[in-house]
Amino acid sequence: MMMLVNLVFIQTVKGQHAAPPDFKNCKKCIVLSEQSVDRAAILDLTQKKIVWEWRAKLSGIKPEHFTWFKHISDAKAVYNGEYILTTASGGGVALVRISDKKLMFYAYAGGNTHSAELLPDGNIVTASSNGNYITVFRTDTLNFPDHVYHKNIPVAFAHNVVWDKKNKVLWTASNNKLKIYTYNFNCEMPDLLLTDSIGLPGAQAHDLFPVYGKNALWISNTTSVFKYHINTKKLEKISVPYKDVKSISSGPGGYPTLLIAPENTYKAWWTDDIHSLNEPVIFKQEGLKMYKARWFIENSFSYQPGSTIRVCNDNL
């Protein structure tokens, strides 16, 4: 089985392994949360094929923790496109180096974990929907997963977390509220404090993600998609012919805005195609079970350009 995986996902050129995807050589690549085989994956949209994947069962994770990574729920590029931060409904969160798939950190949040975010000092925060909390972890790369400091913070219907580096706050859309938290920057005992709450129309807010190149956030719920403009504090409803949008991701010119919208979320929360705001379907492959899709591009809203992996240090 391992041989088959290598043949599919690692191409060889002149007897050497091809370089893994990166921001420079992977044009129009998409990071997927793909549940047919419980993996974080990178799709090359130009080639119409998956060119990289990470699965818990092939990564050195302890067998008793495999179930933590059942139903991959989010995956995003971090640290200058050299790492993938991923979560799963089984409760797990993991930081993986793309070049060799080395597991840098993993831990258990539980409560149907739906998303994760990097904090500026290298610590990690996750959102757990059924648990109704967000969890802040001390990212101890030497003593994981069993001896990791973490703290749960109550948040109703927690599905998302986004760091705002300009304003130095964490955003999360909680059911019908957009909440803002400040971070204590305490490496040993990280914590978050609620500072503001903004009402949202509708219910069950699901995705929250930066609008590329703007000081704004995408928000989706069961019926609608919005842009929240941070400077003006205005909420703009976006015309989208889909309900229950699970993820939304925009990019620079020439990159369509990606949407994941299952046809019937009561029967299946995943889909085998990726929509956009301008085209009905930009990618489809039968057998895939995609839950979220993010452009594999730099996220300057949340992270410093060119940032490298960090282990938290109180002197930062």
pLDDT one-digit tens code per residue, 137-160: 999 888 899 889 999 999 999 999
Beta bridge partners of 198: 178
Predicted pLDDT at 146: 85
Kindly report, residue by residue over 64-93, the tens digit of the pLDDT. 999 999 999 999 999 999 999 999 999 999
Beta strands in 22-155 (DSSP E): 29-34, 39-44, 49-55, 72-78, 83-88, 92-97, 103-108, 113-118, 124-128, 133-137, 150-154
DSSP per-residue codes, 197-239: EEE-SSS----EEEPTTSSEEEEE-SS-EEEEETTTTEEEEE-
Q: What is the mean pLDDT of the chain?
A: 90
Predicted pLDDT at 6: 29
What ranges in 153-204 are assigned the alpha helix state H?
Answer: none
pLDDT average, residue stretch 17-30: 79
CA distances, 154 to each of 122, 158, 172 (Å) = 22, 9, 12
Of the pLDDT bands very low, low, confident and very high (cuts 50, 70, 90), residue 5 is very low
Global pTM?
0.91
Contact 209, 249 (CB under 8 A): yes
Contact 172, 208 (CB under 8 A): yes
Higher-scoring residue by pLDDT: 161, 8:
161
Alpha carbons 189 and 191: distance in angstroms, whole number: 7
Predicted pLDDT at 97: 96
The fourth-level CATH superfamily of domain 2-295 is: YVTN repeat-like/Quinoprotein amine dehydrogenase (2.130.10.10)
Q: Is residue 4 predicted with pLDDT exceeding 70?
A: no
Alpha carbons 283 and 51: distance in angstroms, whole number: 15
Contact 169, 235 (CB under 8 A): no
Alpha carbons 90 and 57: distance in angstroms, whole number: 14
